[in-house]
Structure 1
Amino acid sequence: MRIDFTKMHGLGNDFVVLDARNPAQALPAMDAALASALANRRTGIGCDQLILLEPSELGDFRMRIFNADGSEVEACGNATRAVGLLHGAPARIETLGGLLSATPSDTGIAVEMGQPRFDWDAIPLAYAMDTHTMPLAWEDLTNPVGVNVGNPHAIFFVPDPYAVDMERLGPLIETDPVFPERINVNVAAVTARDAITLRVWERGVGLTLACGTGACATAVGAMKRGLVDRKVTVTLPGGALVIEWREDDGIVMTGPATESFRGSFDPADYGFAAGSPD
């Protein structure tokens, strides 16, 4: 039995979306091995994240997120915009990082990302420290802001994000024991009171063209330090997102999402058996 999929992206951060809400779509049990096989850009369909949509008792549907290495993660802002576009109407989306809402509009998809958390054990870190200016350094990358926006981020403010050797430093920081659940690594430059330039090393993925939660975390980190106003444009290699941190503490991310193509695959080609319809 072949399985239908939709290939989508948000500013180049790309996804394979599988819809398990229809019982006639007999998906195999999703695990790290299948997710990484489908995400492989040489032998699979190819993506940064595999997205699995399931029924939910809390929202309109549940979204599960698997990184290219097969690890399941809590949140993905770009994927939330993508599935919001696919759904085609305002939706409440259950994730491991909490309940999110996505609303399509003429300017893109607006996503209510919830409230940021700054407590050291909410990020989490291996031991207590000030997350506003963490007393940590990896060569010239020093004193990051720590914030959890559904998943964990460390944000370094630098003169030029493109001068940082992220392919070397990104994996070192991601897997440092101070971050027991690993970490997303952000390097950012504030260019105006309403503008930030950002690059992201995403845990389990690597360098990415765009990261919605990274844009949210970086914007909030800059706001927390008083570097920018409460609404900013964050420009990533793949394009720009507008991030607003409202007075009620909620974060709103607005930006585009795109459907690339649709197709199908046979799980047996990857060594997996399809499930059976109910």
Structure 2
Amino acid sequence: MRIAFTKMHGLGNDFVVLDAREHALPPLTRDVVAALADRHTGIGCDQLVLIEPSQNADWRMRIFNSDGGEVEACGNATRAVGLLIGGEVSLETLGGTIVARPDERGIAVDMGEPRFDWNAIPLGYAMDTLAMPVGWPIDDGELEHPVAVNVGNPHAVFFVDDPYAIDLASIGPVIEHDPIFPERVNVNVAAVTARDAITLRVWERGAGITRACGTGACATAIAAMRRGLVDREVTVTLPGGSLVIAWGSDNRITMTGPATVSYTGSFDWGDYA
């Protein structure tokens, strides 16, 4: 059984997109997703995205990290799917319904409202989410007092002098799997460089370090806004490029940036099942 796919990326955060709007696909098991995502023996991607019919929105978007685990939301993937479908489109996700629409700067996505309550992140027990009273040792001190925010998926945001000085490959998985985060967490290290500018690196839950993370950019911008470090619209620069994040008076987050089709192809399902 040959299956068509579209390889896409948003600022280098890359996806294999499978379109099941007209014809259902066999079940996407954790092993199948991980095999397709493998960059040596599969197609290779940070996330695999499945588009399906929905009873609650125009379409349903399911997102799987490269380790095969399904996650609630992915901002870059939403822009990619918005570009692929075209026009304004509402997408049902595990993190809620979000809307993507064309914009002169690429694709704009209404990411919904951020959540700050400890049990909405979720955290293991009640605490201040604006400055969590926790820390993790790193080479030259401690990575501590993150902001916790859920923007469809859970994030911990650390403000540091230089995100590139942090050994994110080492500390990222430690924080991701800390029991204080019962559903694991995405780890963001960021520096505010102006009232409208942030530099960011992200360790993505289940995917590792990626060139860009849309929900990470949203979470980090909102965290900086909550602390009064930046204005209500900010450009977040990641290794793969920049996203514009705005937090409106209606409490909703808008993320705007590019998405690109890399190539199309097909594979034999039996090679990965």
Q: Fold match, TM over 0.5? A: yes
Paired residue secondary structure (1:64): strand
Instruction: Choose the corresponding residue for 2:163, options 158, 161, 164.
Output: 161
Q: Which residue identity lines up with residue 35 of structure 1 in the other structure?
A: V
Partner of 2:119: 121
Query: Any residues of structure 2 matched to 1:6-155 within 5 Å, and which?
Result: 6-23=6-23, 27-139=25-137, 140-155=142-157
The answer to whether the aligner puts 1:223 opposite 2:225 as a matched pair is yes
Cα deviation code 1:77-129 (max 9, x no counterpart): 00000000000111000000000000012210000000000000000000110
Q: Which residue identity lines up with residue 53 of structure 1 in the other structure?
A: I
Count of aligned positions = 269
Distance 1:104 1:261 in 2: 21
Question: Can you give the 5+ residue segments of structure 1 that lack an aligned partner in the other structure?
Answer: 273-278
Distance 1:235 1:154 in 2: 18
Q: Which residue identity lines up with residue 212 of structure 1 in the other structure?
A: G
Distance 2:201 2:181 in 1: 20
Q: TM-score, normalised by structure 1?
A: 0.96
Distance 1:106 1:232 in 2: 17
Paired residue secondary structure (2:229): coil
Q: TM-score, normalised by structure 2?
A: 0.98
Identity of aligned residues (%): 71
The answer to whether the aligner puts 1:2 opposite 2:18 as a matched pair is no
Partner of 2:269: 267
Distance 1:83 1:107 in 2: 16
Cα shift at 1:18: 0.2
Cα shift at 1:31: 1.6
Paired residue secondary structure (2:31): helix
Q: Which residue identity lines up with residue 205 of structure 2 in the other structure?
A: R
Do 2:5 and 2:266's aligned partners in 1 also have CA atoms closer than 8 Å? yes
Partner of 1:275: none
Cα shift at 1:157: 0.1
Cα deviation code 1:177-206 (max 9, x no counterpart): 000000000000000000000000000000
Distance 1:29 1:171 in 2: 28
Do 2:103 and 2:256's aligned partners in 1 also have CA atoms closer than 8 Å? no
Question: Can you give the 5+ residue segments of structure 2 that lack an aligned partner in the other structure?
Answer: none
Cα shift at 1:22: 1.2
Paired residue secondary structure (2:181): coil
Cα deviation code 1:109-165 (max 9, x no counterpart): 000000000000000000110000000101221100000000000000000000000
Cα shift at 1:259: 0.2
Distance 1:109 1:230 in 2: 19
Paired residue secondary structure (2:200): strand
Distance 1:150 1:110 in 2: 16
Distance 1:160 1:22 in 2: 47
Paired residue secondary structure (1:214): helix
Partner of 2:199: 197
